[in-house]
Amino acid sequence: MVVVIICALLAVGAIGFTLVVRERDIPPAPVENPELKHQETRRQVLLENLKDLQFEYHQGKLSDSDYQSLKSGFLYELAAVMDSIERLQAKDNEAELKKKAKPKAKPVVSGGEIKCPSCGSSNPASNRFCGQCGKALS
C-alpha cells in the first residue's frame, strides 16, 4: 500500500515538473528565421522525449542506468540545440543593429539640389563639384 502511494506521488511530481518546465520554455515571440524555427522544433521534440522518458521510468519500464544514459543523451542534445538557438538569435540581433546603423553614404538629392557628402552643404543638382569645399558630388 505504501509503495502504491509513493508511486502515485512520484507520478504527480513528474507531471507537475514537466508542466512547469514546458510553460517556462515556450518562446515569447514568434520565430521567423527558418533555421531558428527548425531548432525550436527540435527543442520541443527533445522536451517531449524527455517527458516520455520520465514517464516510462516512473512506470518502471526503464532501469536506472538506461534512464540515466538516455536522459543525459537527450540533455546533451538539448544543450546543443539551445546553444544554436542562442547563436541564431544573437546573429539576428546583430543583423538588425547593422540595418539600423547603416550610414547614409550616398548624397541626398531633393528638389533639384544635391547635398555634398563631404561637408553637407546644398548644391544645384547640375554641379559636379561642391561649391563650398570643392569635393566631387558623386
Residues that bind Zn ion (CB under 5 A): 116, 118-119, 130, 132-133
If the CB atoms of residues 92 and 113 are measured against Zn ion, the closer one turns out to be: 113
Shortest separation between residue 106's beta carbon and Zn ion, angstroms: 15
d(CA 19, CA 86): 23
Handedness of CA 122, 128, 130, 131 (dihedral sign): negative
Q: Which residue reads 532501469 in cell numbers?
A: 63
**CB closer to Zn ion, 56 vs 117:** 117
The distance of closest approach from Cβ of residue 110 to Zn ion in the complex, given in angstroms and rounded to an integer, is 16
CB-wise, 84 or 118, nearer to Zn ion? 118
Select 9 or 133, whichever has its Cβ closest to Zn ion: 133
Task: Tell me how far, at minimum, the Cβ of 136 lies from Zn ion, in Å.
Answer: 9
Query: In the numeric block, which cell numbers belong to residue 16?
Result: 507537475
For Cα atoms 127, 130, 135, give the angle at the middle one, nearest 5 degrees.
120
Residue 124 three-state SS:
strand
Beta carbon of residue 124, minimum distance to Zn ion (angstroms, whole number)? 13
Show the cell assigned to 50. 524527455
Nearest CA-CA partner of 53 in 77, 34, 30: 77
